[in-house]
Amino acid sequence: MKAAVVTFPGSNCDRDLAVAFERAGFAVSRVWHKDTALPEGVDVVGVPGGFSFGDYLRCGAIAAQSPIAAAIRGHAARGGYVLGICNGFQVLTEMQLLPGALMRNAGLKFICKTIGLNVATSDSAFTSAYAKGQQIAVPVAHHDGNYTIDAEGLAALHAEDRVAFRYAQNPNGSAADIAGVLSANRRVLGMMPHPERVVDARAGGTDGAALFASLMGGMALA
Amino acid sequence: MKARVTVMLKSGVLDVQGEAVRHALGTLGFAGVNGVRQGKVIELDLAETDKAAAETAVKAMCEKLLSNTVIESYRVELL
């Protein structure tokens, strides 16, 4: 299986994300934001955390218009897998590959700590190695993670079982405690917490490893 | 031609930063501020000289980049 990890100016979790994919057995290539195409045969694209383009205008807004974003859009349209973490989640909502928007945290503070997450569905290639309802410990590090969606959109997410993760204790004001959501075809996941930071017991935990292992085992060919 | 775009959170979307400003004003002794909404003003210097064409172009810019229409509304003024 092949993964590509995108780097924007200001990305800072790209290497960690590449390492997490590698540890799960993926062959990883790195892609620059000015690239106009993904490498041949990529199964999953990782859009990493950080502060792409300095969070100018809105978090993720400039990155969502970059040349590589068009290639990611094409990959998703073909049924390819996309994983957006933190700023990557913001980029995917700005690209409208995922519904809703990430607004300033309700408490206005940047939050950087490990928190409890409940796995809301195991019915996705990203979460199949978790049990539904399982609680995992994953760090968050964001200023704009307050997931906002209109009532109609929220009802659709619930009806289609598209909430992937919920906060055990809502840190940022997100609607319905939502920490991560899936696309309608369940092949695009965006989440604010950082599973790539918990794939090594020597560096804080291993609760994120199952996400990458799920993907390695559970992806249909893109 | 110059254009001024005002981007605001849609009514109904909680503006946590505006709320913080309102609290701060109250703390400073400014009584009677019932609400604060915070937004952005973006000024554009356009080569276009036709007003209607400029308005169409700026609206397209707002839809595509300058605002996130999931949570924000925008207003275009041509100056």
Across chain B, mean pLDDT equals: 96
**Which residue numbers of A are catalytic?**
86, 194, 196
May I ask the CATH architecture of the domain B2-78? 2-Layer Sandwich (3.30)
Q: Which positions 139-198 of A are in contact with B (Cβ < 8 Å)?
A: 146, 148-150, 173
Q: What is the pLDDT of residue A222?
A: 42
Q: Distance (Å, rounded) from C-alpha A63 to C-alpha A32?
A: 11
User: One-letter amino acid identity for B1?
Assistant: M
What residues pair up with A121 in beta bridges, in sequence order? none
Q: Which helix (H) or strand (E) holds A159?
A: helix A151-159
| B13 touches A: beta carbon within 8 Å | yes
| Chain A / chain B CB contacts < 8 angstroms | 35
Q: Distance (Å, rounded) from C-alpha A34 to C-alpha A91?
A: 15
Q: What is the pLDDT of residue A220?
A: 56
Q: Which residues contact B56 (CB under 8 A, 6 or more apart)?
A: none
What residues pair up with A139 in beta bridges, in sequence order? A114
A101 chain-B contacts, CB cut-off 8 A: 68, 70-71
CA-wise closest residue to A69 among A96, A51, A42: A96
The predicted complex's ipTM stands at 0.88
Name all domains of chain A by residue range, CATH numbers in brackets. Answer: 2-218 (3.40.50.880)
Reading the block at residue A37, the tokens are 């195409």
Domain ranges of chain B: 2-78
Tens digits of pLDDT across chain A (222 residues): 999 999 999 999 999 999 999 999 999 999 999 999 999 999 999 999 999 999 999 999 999 999 999 999 999 999 999 999 999 999 999 999 999 999 999 999 999 999 999 999 999 999 999 999 999 999 999 999 999 999 999 999 999 999 999 999 999 999 999 999 999 999 999 999 999 999 999 988 999 999 999 999 887 544
| A111 touches B: beta carbon within 8 Å | no
